[in-house]
Amino acid sequence: MIDSGEVVLSPNSAIDAAIKEILPYFSPDSQRRMRKAILAAKKAAEKQRDENTDAGARHIFREFIPASILNENGFTLEYERPIGGKRPDWLDDNAKLMLESYTYERGASSPFIDRVTAAINDKCNKYRKIIEANSLRFVMAVYLDFLTGMLLEECREDSKMFRPIFDANNSLSAILFFTETQVVRRRQEYGFFCLCRDSAFKTIANWPFETMELG
């Protein structure tokens, strides 16, 4: 089912259509929060008209992508649902899954691994007590902006560079990398690669992404 709302959620017609297509995979409460977030980003972008504000809108849209695929496969992720006084990007009580998002964006000068490490450490520190108290699997979704030149293949082939991140964060279950691949029938497709801490993560029912255990 495709959302048929008349409100333009993004000035980019392809993104607007993509958001409206994925909204029905979420609960009414999540849809309301998602609409509010993307419309706030749209309003800020229209007001500021600068790269940083536009980046914020892109980040929010990308938060929706992996969660929509998971819900399409039977998960029940809720957007910014409160837990323990915080609002993680995504939470699925049934699957005991928490998902946070980070975009490896164009333009910065620091190395890829440094930026990803800092982002994941920050999220793990923020949610560690909640993850432990609720026995949650915590996944960090990392979008690779195609203009940075970082590829999924590099993350797969050099996966050991991420070991220090897992070693430093016992609450981290997996890192889900994703990026744009090709446009098929006017629809943007995405590639995914999930690097998990141990083999137990690979047994999650209906997990739709290519997954490799950290060697």
Give dist(CA 136, CA 128) in Å, integer.
Answer: 10
Burial 48-86 (b: 16+ CB within 10 A, else e): eeeeebebbbbebbbbbbbbbbbbeeebbbbbbbebeee
pLDDT of residue 78: 98
3-state secondary structure of 77: coil
Query: pLDDT digit of tens for each residue in the chain (215 aa)?
Result: 444 457 888 777 778 888 999 999 999 999 999 999 988 887 877 776 655 555 667 788 899 999 999 999 999 999 999 999 999 999 999 999 999 999 887 666 788 999 999 999 999 999 999 999 999 999 999 999 866 778 899 999 999 999 999 999 999 999 999 998 877 777 788 999 999 998 887 788 899 999 999 97
Give dist(CA 83, CA 37) in Å, integer.
Answer: 19
Residue with tokens 């490799």: 212
Helix axes 13-22, 51-72, angle to 10 degrees: 30
pLDDT of residue 199: 86
